[in-house]
Amino acid sequence: MQFIDKHHLLITYSTLIKCTERVYMKNNTKKFKKYFTCLTVFLLAIILMQTNVYAGCQSSGGYSYCAYDGGTVNTTVPIYESQTYHTKGYQTTIGVSYSVTDTASATGSLSYGLSSWGVSVAGTIGVTTSEACTTSTNITFTVPSTTASGYYRINVVFPGKKVNFYTFTSEGTLISSRTVSYAPSENSAYRVLSNYA
């Protein structure tokens, strides 16, 4: 479900009202220029609104600090130690000879606004600063005999999210923002078996 972010809705709504006022209430020669400026701001606000999914906000000292789920982003980490050549006509077992731990980290700090607040609210949408996945020697995959010959390996996929942080005044005015392009989702890593050559 795509949520409508209440703060951006307020900004968008107030911008639209101001645009209308400027175009129709003021009679000056620059009204079209102003109109297009307003329209651009309005469209940008709509774009901003549509790319965010509501996550969580906390208020402190007259400001509202919000984190928004900006959509799913995956990071794939190959396990090079598992690379194996498979020959068609034979079953091949692929695994690792020693335990391998792969990690995925957020591309930026999740702290924002108040100290440690960003981490706390980012956690409400299930993302974390770093996520690990260990592939032990007990884990193996079987490539069926019908699969084409080639090199295959295990890849670990870390699903995550883009996180947008915003600070608003109590009137709903946006005063600062920051984006973390990827933060791993908690405990959601999975493995895929891929051909790589």
Binding site for other proteins (CB under 8 A): 1, 3-4, 6, 9-10, 13, 54-58, 91, 119-120, 123-126, 128, 134, 136, 138-148, 150, 152, 157, 159, 185-195
Helix (H) / strand (E) containing 81: strand 63-86
* Closer CB to other proteins, 37 or 136, in the complex: 136
CB of 79 to other proteins, least distance (A): 13
* Closer CB to other proteins, 8 or 162, in the complex: 8
| Residue with tokens 């982003």, as numbered in its chain | 73
CB of 34 to other proteins, least distance (A): 24
* Closer CB to other proteins, 147 or 167, in the complex: 147
Q: How far apart are CA 73 and CA 161, in angstroms?
A: 5
CA-based nearest residue to 9, from 44, 46, 35: 46
Q: How far apart are CA 9 and CA 34, in angstroms?
A: 21
* Closer CB to other proteins, 6 or 34, in the complex: 6
Phi, psi of 112 (to 5 degrees): -160, 145
